[in-house]
A and B are shown apart, each in its own frame.
Chain A
Amino acid sequence: MKQTVIAASLVLATIAGSALAADQFIPIPSYRVGPYASGGAKFYGGMIDYLNYVNMKEGGVGGVKLTYEECETEYKNDRGVECYERLKAKNGGASAFNFMSTGITYAVMDRADKDKIPLMTMGFGRADAQDGRAFKYTFPLITSYWSQATAKIQFIGQRLGGMDKLRGKKIVNLYHGSAYGKETIAVLDAMAAKHGFELKHIEVPAPGTEQQSQWLDIRRERPDFVVLRSWGVMTPAALKSAQKVGYPREQIVSNWWGGSEEDAIAAGEAAKGYIAGSFALDGKQFPLIQDIEKVVYGAGKGNLSDKGYMGTVNYNRGVVSGILMVEAIRAAQKKYGAKTLTGDQIRWGMENINIDAKRQQALGVTDMFPQVRTSCQNHEGSGYTRFMQWDGKDWKPVSGWIKADTSVTLPLIKASVEKYVQEKGITLRDCNAEK
């Protein structure tokens, strides 16, 4: 008994001791069990690998070691809130949270505002949070759902041979019957009005395993393209149903939630030719991914249980998330000095991320994700999406980086922000007054 107590106190002492050095703490609210575990384990594996890589390669950021702690959210809102509360004040304070879950992000938004901790919502909602004047601590980095929806239509335009060819065409928006699924309806309507194509919205009740009648509808409508807003099991189910009614998969375009290996492999042969958007390219051809393999996995410190998952879409997304986090810390250190920074200082860093082509080359990630340049007003920093086609084994890029149609998204964001500001009774920040 006595020995156990001594051993336990020794463990605690080492934990306490390690936290005393100048560290920058990064909370990792991961989901490794539950329905979305296969994606979550790879995403957070990639993020942790990159943090370890920076520690091992450079000894941290500016000499400040990066520390992290995981907390299992199971992709559930209440567990996410618990993790947020658990990690927010640990080890000198959390730098920024990336939940990879719209639900949890919504649930902690007010808390994060109050605690002055930034939330990264890379690739997802809420879309209007790109207006940093109203959403000071929320960062839908690279691309929001709305930006992606406009990119999808532009991609279809490219395929048809020009945006003017969209006139008179018919597109079906097949969406998941949830808050997530309905989020792009308004943007697509605006795009339809602008380019004069016919748009039909068809809902698939959650979770989306039953799509028989919807695809019979689609077969009757004979649309030129189907825009898929899918999620989880809905993607493979949609592809299989499309195969059954004989709808060509080359004319199905999904957003990035339907664009990982898990989504395509589950549909088997039916997925061949299917197209999905992406903000982080897959593959191990990038020098950074190869170097992570050499440095981190060479030392036996890799986070993935199976090294073979390196270079998958979700893994690379996690690495990109780590890069953006570290670049934000770098930017903040330039202003505030190389020490443990607070959440509010990291927020300034996130508003001053500048990853141009030169920086991408230095990081070894050229063309893995679009160039990112954020500001006080623009929390998205990019708005580019690239489209990939599944060839049965791999995703192959079939377009360049397509920029969001801001003439459509900006008015919608403006209206949404105005409503939010009014509901919450807040005043917009003056970005010119801050530097």
Chain B
Amino acid sequence: MFYRESGQFKSSYAADSAIFTIAQDRVFIAALLALSFVAIPGLASDYLLSGILIPFLILSLAALGLNILTGYAGQLSLGSAAFMAVGAFATYNFMVRLPGMPLLVALFLGGLCAALVGVAFGLPSLRIKGFYLAVATLAAQFFIEWVFTKFGWFSNNSSSGVISAPAMQIFGYPIDSPASKYLLTLSIVAFMALAAKNMARASIGRAWMAVRDMDVAAEVIGIPMLRTKLLAFAISSFYCGVAGALYAFVLLGTVDAQAFDLHRSFQILFMIIIGGVGSILGSFLGAAFIVLLPIGLNLIGQVFHGAISTQFLANLEMMLFGGLIIFFLIVEPHGLARLWQISKEKLRVWPFPH
């Protein structure tokens, strides 16, 4: 009833190829952007901004990166956290070794370094597929973590290997309050999500999907395998690299190789599996599920503070979290994004389904 396209005519090619072809979607997105850009930074508490929203946005970006590679191009990867680490350490070194380097340029260069490393570790994808490729990217995960711990140069020879991020500013405006950090993260994530959406709709995205669905057939119809696969690795790693740099600079304020371990890679993989493989929206929904649900459970648990043993409560949270993952995968194996799509289709004919 509320969500119908009747009466909305597309009278130009531009209207036909718009991202959101239905007016209700456009209104919804505009309201969401207004809420997140204007209302939230003004009204939300420090806790909501730096404790919940910033980590959610940053991990969404990493999930988006992996979704490009795994969801669109069909190349399974277990090295996302390693590419995040490359982005973080590269950005740190650009900032520290080249004084006066603008933050955004350093972030971009950090992403480029991650992209280069991603291409190098993507080379095996030309020969191997599926689980075998996942194992090859696993090598990237262990190798890169080892390199950053082993060679002190990357951490500016700090005695502990943990280094604190230098102060940040953009065009002379300091990024130090939770609201400014949130806005910086949100702008970058929104821009890169838009870019990802457009890439997925453009020829490169179609080439990725063709490779994902059947690479031999894709090669037969003239899609260059080398270029397409390596581009997927490069762009995916770029996204992960920027996410890693934001994670280190904006969220933690320290750069530490152990923060980007195999657990992080799995966490990001779970995000896209639960959110929806091959969906931009799914990356955000999956990140929300994996990041926010444990925190939510912990907050609910605090209501029983004193009544139940905290030991039991902490373990109960883990059980509930695991149970919910299984529940959602059984109810909707294609992820939360598919659930959202189904509900939109239902809404379209509501309240008269027939």
Contact = CB atoms under 8 A, between A and B. Distances in A.
Nearest to A415: B159
B160 A125 contact: yes
A182 B159 contact: yes
Contact of B51 (A81, A107, A109, A185): A81
A421 interface: no
Contact of A71 (B146, B161, B167, B298): B298
Given A182-B159, A185-B159, A106 B311 contact: no
B317 A78 contact: no
B302 interface: yes
B174 to A, nearest CB: 12
Contacts of A78: 55, 247, 251-252, 259
- Residues of A contacting B: mostly: helix
Contacts of B149: 177-179, 182, 206
B27 to A, nearest CB: 32
Contacts of B256: 77, 103, 106, 179
B311 A32 contact: yes
A333 B267 CA distance: 45
A183 B149 CA distance: 12
A217 interface: no
B173 interface: no
Nearest to B259: A77
A185 B161 CA distance: 12
B160 A32 contact: no
Contacts of A30: 310, 314
A250 interface: no
Interface in B302-324: 302-303, 305, 309-312, 314-315, 317-318
A26 interface: no
A82 B311 contact: no
Interface residues of B, number: 41
Contact of A107 (B252, B305, B310): B252
A180 interface: yes
Nearest to B253: A110
Contacts of B167: 424-425
* Contact residues of B: prevailing secondary structure: helix
Contacts of A206: 149, 258
A368 B256 CA distance: 34
Contact of A126 (B160, B310, B317): B160
Nearest to A30: B310
B52 interface: yes
A72 B298 contact: yes
B159 A86 contact: no
A106 B162 contact: yes
A152 to B, nearest CB: 17
Contacts of A41: 311
Contacts of B161: 178-179, 182-183
Interface in B216-271: 247, 251-254, 256-259
A305 B164 contact: no
B93 interface: no
A33 B314 contact: yes
Nearest to A111: B253
B107 to A, nearest CB: 19
B50 interface: yes
B258 A103 contact: yes
Contact of A179 (B50, B257, B302, B317): B257
A58 interface: no
A70 B305 CA distance: 8
A69 B160 contact: no
Given A77-B259, A78-B251, A179-B257, A186 B51 contact: no
A106 B257 CA distance: 13
Interface string A176-193: 011110110110000000
Q: Which of A11, A69, A84, A107 is the most central at the interface, judged by chain B CB atoms within 10 Å of its CB?
A: A107
B236 to A, nearest CB: 22
Interface string B152-163: 000000011110
A153 B164 CA distance: 30
Contacts of A114: 176
Contact of B254 (A11, A69, A71, A107): A107
B124 interface: no
A185 B157 CA distance: 12
Contacts of A102: 160, 162
Interface in A323-373: none
A207 to B, nearest CB: 10
A421 to B, nearest CB: 12
A106 B258 CA distance: 13
A69 B302 contact: yes
Nearest to B302: A69
Contacts of B51: 81-82, 84-86
Q: For A84, A89, A186, A423, which residue has the most chain B Cβ atoms within 10 angstroms?
A: A423
B311 A305 contact: yes
Interface string B23-58: 000000000000000000000001100111001000
Interface string A13-51: 000000000000000001011000100010000000000
A30 B310 CA distance: 10
A268 interface: no
A110 B47 contact: no
B195 interface: no
A404 B149 CA distance: 28
B130 interface: no
Contacts of A416: 159
A86 B295 CA distance: 10
A375 B195 CA distance: 55
Contacts of A182: 149, 159-161
A81 B164 contact: no
B298 to A, nearest CB: 5
A400 interface: no
Interface string B180-197: 000000000000000000
Contact of A81 (B50, B159, B318): B50
Nearest to A205: B146
Contacts of A103: 162, 254, 256, 258-259
Interface in B35-88: 46-47, 50-52, 55
5 contacts: A37-B314, A79-B294, A84-B51, A109-B164, A183-B161
List 10 tightest A-B contacts by C-beta distance, closest first: A179-B161, A85-B51, A32-B314, A107-B252, A82-B51, A85-B47, A106-B254, A183-B160, A179-B162, A179-B160
Given A69-B305, A423-B166, 8 more contacts: A79-B295, A81-B55, A85-B46, A177-B149, A179-B257, A180-B160, A183-B160, A424-B164
